[in-house]
Structure 1
Amino acid sequence: MSDEVEPGFVRVRLDLAYDGKDFSGWAKQTARRTVQGEIEDALRTVTRSSRTYDLTVAGRTDAGVHARGQVAHVDLPAEVWAEHGELLLRRMAGRMAPDVRIWRVAEAPVGFNARFSALWRRYAYRISDRPGGADPLTRGHVLWHDRPLDVDAMNAASARMLGEHDFAAYCKKREGATTIRTLQKLSWVRDAESGVVTGTVQADAFCHNMVRALVGAMLFVGDGRRPDPWPAQVLASGVRDPGVHVVRPHGLTLEEVAYPADELLAARNKEARNVRSLPGRGCC
């Protein structure tokens, strides 16, 4: 599938962050406030354009999920980029609400696609198990769990999940979409000062609800309700388990999206579009 920029247009990379609390997710929706809608509306106003320039994003976050290291791209007419390029960052800041910020605007290298060129996405999920509840000053970004957590048990369970697998048991299935992913990192650390437990979840890509379902499974291990082999057993079953709870979105933040060197962008773009299958299985 070709991803060439239309003649007369310039592909622009946007690096951005947002607090997901008051957004109905990334993707624009009718009569709902979304991150994509907010940015596209501001871009149309700032450039005084009669049309909307559609954004492509690295990871479409759900309602209530935050981002610190989100990446998107937009194709702008060359004359619009020439007129607004250097001033676009400041002008956009003046048109958007303070819960979404663009940190960097730059012409993208050849072959760049915010979604398909990405090597991996890294999320963090933050949890407080303090008996008195979460810190009031961070409660919008930290889940309170009402049972003490054993971080060592959570790490033992997480280690069994790494690698390429079919994560159908941890995903909300979408028609025509594969649930095969390569989970590169899943680990837990407790901060010595605050006591907050942070889970790092990194994969080449994620399917719908995957991160929050994985966190839900690990919480049941951490509080002793399930043994540490249980999440891997659920994974091997290949079907959704009613015992796996999808945790609330506000504890989740997209921290970083990584891309290859410029000369490898086009190859990665092409590779990421291939429908994957596990060894010994057909693709469809």
Structure 2
Amino acid sequence: MPRFALQVEYDGAPFAGWQAQADQPSVQGAIETALARLDPGFATRRIAAAGRTDAGVHATGQVAHADLDRDWDPFRLSEALNWHLKPAPVAILQAARVDDDFHARFSAVERRYLFRLVARRAPMTHGKGQVWQVLNPLDVGAMRAGAAHLVGHHDFTTFRSSICQAKSPVKSLDEIRIEAQPIPQGMEYRFHLRARSFLHNQVRSIVGTLERVGAGSWAPDRVRDALEARNRAACGPVCPPHGLYLTGVGYPRDPFGARGEGPTGR
């Protein structure tokens, strides 16, 4: 039974998240419905993804895998899936035949997220539903100073949802990089986070906390104090999901073709 990796892009706005749900639309459900139309034997199977994004969260580089009856040409598979996915805002960027031991979730060694935050007075038009908007400019230097306390191997209980199902709150956060880009009458701040895996709501909790630092409500060192508290009550506000994007997943070997050293997409 041939196994295929799928690189997936989607707008999370109309979905209740990645994971299939009986009574609500999901990204997983949309892809599985399209696969069942192409490969009738797939109707009783499921696909697995590298990350189960929450309701409203987007992706530009999600990875999933599916076991099919037919040994498709990967390009034809992606084209056919995109046809059957219409009009859902989900696109298969590429497909690849992979070994049977490849698993989109368990084979991953890195996940990358982007959070987009815009500061300006005027309402968003083109980016509506794609960014979190605040009204006043933020101090990017202060946010970078606060973020520096979070990089490394820590107990992230403070930045973990109370319903998180991970066995341990201890994670290694490899990178937080914050960029500031001028936009008409405002500024966009882009938070890039990289780690092997993340806790539930970890990225949104971190960005919401760093926004408080940028706004001047928190001193940068308060981020360190919040981390060391290991108490959810010490966290800043959790920012909304619509600014968050899963941008890439790293594997020891790129399932889509490149064969460089280290995780893919680096």
TM-score (norm 2): 0.88
Cα shift at 1:146:
2.3
Q: Answer yes or no: is the 8 Å Cα contact 2:110–2:194 preserved in 1.
A: yes
Q: Say yes or no: does 1:93 pair with 2:86.
A: no
Q: Answer yes or no: is the 8 Å Cα contact 2:42–2:68 preserved in 1.
A: no
Q: Answer yes or no: is the 8 Å Cα contact 1:20–1:67 preserved in 2.
A: yes
> What secondary structure is seen at the aligned counterpart in 1 of 2:40?
coil
* Residue identity opposite 2:160 in structure 1: C
* Residue identity opposite 1:246 in structure 2: V
Q: Answer yes or no: is the 8 Å Cα contact 1:120–1:202 preserved in 2.
A: yes
- Aligned twin of 2:35: 43
Cα shift at 1:262:
6.8
- Aligned twin of 1:118: 108
Q: Say yes or no: does 1:127 pair with 2:127.
A: no
- Aligned twin of 2:232: 240
What do the CA deviations read for 1:159-211 (whole angstroms, capped 9, x no partner)? 11101111111111435622221101112111134521111111110111000
Question: Which deviates more from structure 2 when the two are superposed, residues 148-157 or residues 94-103?
Answer: 94-103
Q: Answer yes or no: is the 8 Å Cα contact 2:18–2:53 preserved in 1.
A: yes
Cα shift at 1:242:
5.5
Q: Answer yes or no: is the 8 Å Cα contact 1:40–1:52 preserved in 2.
A: no
Measure the CA separation in 2 of the matches of 1:236 and 1:91: 50
**Identity percentage of aligned residues:** 35
- Aligned twin of 2:131: 142
* Residue identity opposite 2:43 in structure 1: R
> What secondary structure is seen at the aligned counterpart in 1 of 2:223?
helix
Q: Answer yes or no: is the 8 Å Cα contact 1:110–1:262 preserved in 2.
A: no
> What secondary structure is seen at the aligned counterpart in 2 of 1:95?
helix
- Aligned twin of 2:143: 154
Q: Answer yes or no: is the 8 Å Cα contact 2:36–2:42 preserved in 1.
A: yes
Measure the CA separation in 1 of the matches of 2:254 and 2:138: 42
Structure 2 runs not aligned, ≥5 long: 256-261
Measure the CA separation in 1 of the matches of 2:240 and 2:44: 32
Q: Answer yes or no: is the 8 Å Cα contact 1:109–1:262 preserved in 2.
A: no
RMSD between aligned alpha carbons? 2.0
- Aligned twin of 2:98: 108
Measure the CA separation in 1 of the matches of 2:235 and 2:201: 15
> What secondary structure is seen at the aligned counterpart in 1 of 2:91?
strand
- Aligned twin of 1:60: 52
Q: Answer yes or no: is the 8 Å Cα contact 2:147–2:176 preserved in 1.
A: yes
Measure the CA separation in 1 of the matches of 2:10 and 2:75: 22
Cα shift at 1:111:
3.4
Measure the CA separation in 1 of the matches of 2:59 and 2:84: 19
* Residue identity opposite 1:255 in structure 2: T
Change (3 A) 1:216 1:10: same
Q: Answer yes or no: is the 8 Å Cα contact 2:205–2:235 preserved in 1.
A: no
Measure the CA separation in 2 of the matches of 1:242 and 1:184: 22
Cα shift at 1:60:
0.7
Measure the CA separation in 1 of the matches of 2:56 and 2:35: 23
* Residue identity opposite 1:143 in structure 2: W
Superposition pairs for residues 1-284 of structure 1, below 5 Å?
Answer: 9-49=1-41, 51-77=43-69, 80-82=70-72, 87-96=76-85, 97-109=87-99, 111-133=101-123, 135-173=124-162, 174-175=164-165, 177-194=167-184, 195-241=187-233, 243-261=235-253
Measure the CA separation in 1 of the matches of 2:208 and 2:254: 37
Measure the CA separation in 1 of the matches of 2:217 and 2:17: 31
Structure 1 runs not aligned, ≥5 long: 1-8, 269-284
Q: Answer yes or no: is the 8 Å Cα contact 1:68–1:254 preserved in 2.
A: yes
What do the CA deviations read for 1:233-272 (whole angstroms, capped 9, x no partner)? 1111111025521110001111111111379xxxx9xxxx
Measure the CA separation in 1 of the matches of 2:81 and 2:201: 31
Q: Answer yes or no: is the 8 Å Cα contact 1:129–1:148 preserved in 2.
A: yes
Q: Answer yes or no: is the 8 Å Cα contact 1:161–1:183 preserved in 2.
A: yes
Measure the CA separation in 2 of the matches of 1:176 and 1:127: 27
* Residue identity opposite 2:96 in structure 1: A
